[in-house]
Chain A
Amino acid sequence: MTRDTDAATTADTAASPAAIHAAASGAPAAGAPARPPALLRPPQISRRWWPVFRRNLLVWRKLAVPSLVGNIAEPLITLVAFGYGIGALVGQVQLSGSPVPYILFLASGSICMSAMNAASFEALYSAFSRMNVQRTWDGIMNAPVRLDDVVFAEMLWAAFKSLFTSTVILGVMLALGISHSPMLLLALPLLGLVGIVFASIALIFNALAKGYDFFTYYFSLFLTPTMFLSGVFFPRDQLPGVMRAISDWLPLTAAVELIRPLFLGQWPAGGARHLAVLAAYGVAAFWVALALTRRRFRN
């Protein structure tokens, strides 16, 4: 016999659970398939993000030591050069009216900057290599893994690498005796959140990139100004009015405002607001990154 055009109407299939599943999944009529789903639909994340994350972890385990040296050498050199060099000239900075040693001021800001840079590098250059050059993503999506899961895994992976870098740098800062505040334990989850936010923002540019050159714009036009406007190197009260207003809403500002007090053994002032800013950036950026990546892969 020949197959009926609609399997669900044949007597022997009507009762099977699989048939009900097929009917419930809304198979469209012939010649009229569903419109392509909206790019901005909510993320559809399943447990399949984990094998994608694990894949990156396995690659990294092989290269961890050299990549670790590269990841922490630069922030530590910055800290030593600026902290002890400029610190000797500046001595102390006034923070909300009380003096803070410059090395402590700088260390607490630069660890946020390192978290930002580490997440950005991974979600730009490395993710782009996997997506566009090695075609790793294409291979993964030949298996039952959604693009949403791949993008989610890449975002968490970049955040994880960023957190790893932050943890090592924090360890070195503890060893140097820059701060011994027990509240630094709280800094780690916050730095993880900073990684998530900047990984998500970077994935927007990853989705738009035609080549690696594009990322130079992102670094020089967004990350570098962000670095100087967010109170990493000098207190934000010195900024002129407009800059200050922009600075108030930058994600790195929120990160520094949350983490710097922990170095001083204090609770952050306005912590809820800063957390809300970070969360808003994270959710919005991931959503936009996902929509743009879906657009890139839809043809």
Chain B
Amino acid sequence: MGTMARMSLPLFEVAELTKRYGASTVVNQLSFSIAPGQCLGVIGPNGAGKTTTIRMCLGLTSPDGGRIRYFPAGSAASLSMPQDALAIKAQLGIVSQFDSLDPDFSCAENLLVFGRYFGLKDAVIKERIPRLLEFAALSHKAGAKLAELSGGMKRRLSLARALVNDPQLLLLDEPTTGLDPQARHLMWERLQRLVQQGKSILLTTHFMDEAERLCDRLLVLDHGQKMTEGTPRALIAQNLEPDVVEVYGAGALALLESPLKALAARTEVSGETVFFYTRDAKALLAALSERPELRTLHRPANLEDLFLKLTGRQIREAA
């Protein structure tokens, strides 16, 4: 096997992964792989199985079926979860949905203490700490207690902590949930930098702009099953008409009973808003211009449309 061939091999591979709790199957025959330097996004509604999948990838939850394998760089042999959990975790960086930072420690101490869990020598960790803090834009907070940090700073410290062992693959479970736009953009910029450095990322998110911006490939998960997988652009092109016209205001819903409906390839309703999906919006917009009481928004189809088409508009609030 040549070097070129080896480079195309995945770093991480999940095959036919299944997890059941009692009668309900929360992850069903899920397969995906991540190549070196690639960012794979997993999107899906609450309860779709994203966090369970990540927990199985970490060996924290035992699957009822399937395989999880890690292929260390430069070695053709694979490591399997859960037997080789410790060897795999030595290569992983994890940012979980909820911060598990140590409130009793400063930023620098959090990194030092976490590095020790990997068996790293203090000298090695201390040499890495300034770079990690700089990466997290926290150099000025090295000695600050956790209580002094904002939500965005804590998430970035969690990310820096996940990098202390210089991992090949990062598993990020909703890394920007709860952050303000500024903090989110800084996080995105750092994650893009990591991908440029050749790190692989598995990311779950609820934010479609985040998924589109960061991910080379996206996997849409619902009810534990893969709905589709591909590049963000290709997924939109394959599944959606390119143009969307949103119409809302008094009488918008009545449009569905009117001849206007025939001008769209597909329509959807959410609350008081009607969504017209079409390949050519001109005729529709011309017809709508005669109805000034209605407010219209014409835009290209995006990932959010795709997500809602595949997973429905039903609110998922069940625990």
Q: A-side interface residues toward B, CB under 8 Å?
A: 1, 3, 7-8, 10, 12-13, 16, 18-19, 21-22, 25-28, 30-34, 36, 47-48, 51-52, 54-55, 58-59, 62-63, 134-136, 138-146, 297-299
Contact = CB atoms under 8 A, between A and B. Distances in A.
A3 B60 contact: no
Main secondary structure of the interface of B (DSSP, over half): loop
B96 A18 contact: no
Contacts of A16: 75-77
B52 to A, nearest CB: 9
Nearest to B74: A18
What 9 A-B pairs come out closest when comparing CB atoms?
A139-B100, A143-B117, A51-B116, A18-B77, A19-B77, A144-B86, A135-B100, A142-B94, A13-B76
7 contacts: A18-B75, A31-B16, A33-B62, A33-B82, A62-B104, A142-B89, A143-B165
Contact of A30 (B16, B76, B116): B16
Contacts of B87: 144
A195 B147 CA distance: 33
A38 to B, nearest CB: 12
A1 B1 contact: yes
Contacts of A7: 71, 76-78
B36 interface: no
Contacts of B1: 1, 10, 12
Interface in B140-162: 162
B113 interface: yes
Contacts of B45: none
Interface in B72-129: 72, 75-80, 82-87, 89-90, 92, 94, 96, 98-105, 109, 113-114, 116-119
Contacts of A28: 67, 80
Interface of B: 1, 5, 8-10, 13, 15-16, 21, 58, 60-67, 71-72, 75-80, 82-87, 89-90, 92, 94, 96, 98-105, 109, 113-114, 116-119, 162, 165
B42 to A, nearest CB: 18
Given A34-B82, A55-B102, A299-B61, 11 more contacts: A18-B75, A33-B65, A51-B113, A51-B117, A63-B104, A135-B100, A139-B101, A139-B114, A140-B117, A142-B162, A144-B117
Nearest to A59: B104
B76 to A, nearest CB: 4
Contacts of A297: 60
A209 to B, nearest CB: 19
B53 to A, nearest CB: 14
Given A18-B72, A142-B94, A144-B118, A136 B102 contact: yes
A298 B184 CA distance: 33
A30 B67 contact: yes
Contact of B62 (A12, A18, A36, A47): A36
B20 to A, nearest CB: 12
B19 to A, nearest CB: 10
A62 B1 CA distance: 55
Contacts of A52: 117
Nearest to A19: B77
Nearest to A50: B116
Contacts of A1: 1, 5, 8
Contacts of B98: 135
A22 B65 contact: no
A299 B93 CA distance: 22
Given A33-B63, A62-B104, A299-B61, A25 B80 contact: yes
Contact of A22 (B64, B78, B89): B78
Contacts of A25: 80, 83-84
A27 B80 contact: yes
Given A30-B67, A31-B16, A144-B90, A21 B77 contact: yes
A145 B66 contact: no
Interface centre among B71, B75, B77, B99, by most chain A C-beta atoms within 10 angstroms, is B77
A3 B118 contact: no
A134 B83 CA distance: 28
A45 B18 CA distance: 30
A22 B101 CA distance: 33
A59 B105 contact: yes
A48 B66 CA distance: 29
B9 A3 contact: yes
B96 A138 contact: yes
B76 A146 contact: no
B117 A48 contact: yes
A138 to B, nearest CB: 5
A12 B207 CA distance: 43
Contacts of A144: 85-87, 89-90, 117-119
Contacts of B8: 1
Interface centre among A32, A134, A144, A298, by most chain B C-beta atoms within 10 angstroms, is A144
A138 B55 CA distance: 11
B119 A48 contact: yes
Contacts of B113: 51, 54-55, 58
Given A142-B96, A144-B89, A32 B65 contact: yes
A135 B84 CA distance: 24
Contacts of B109: 58
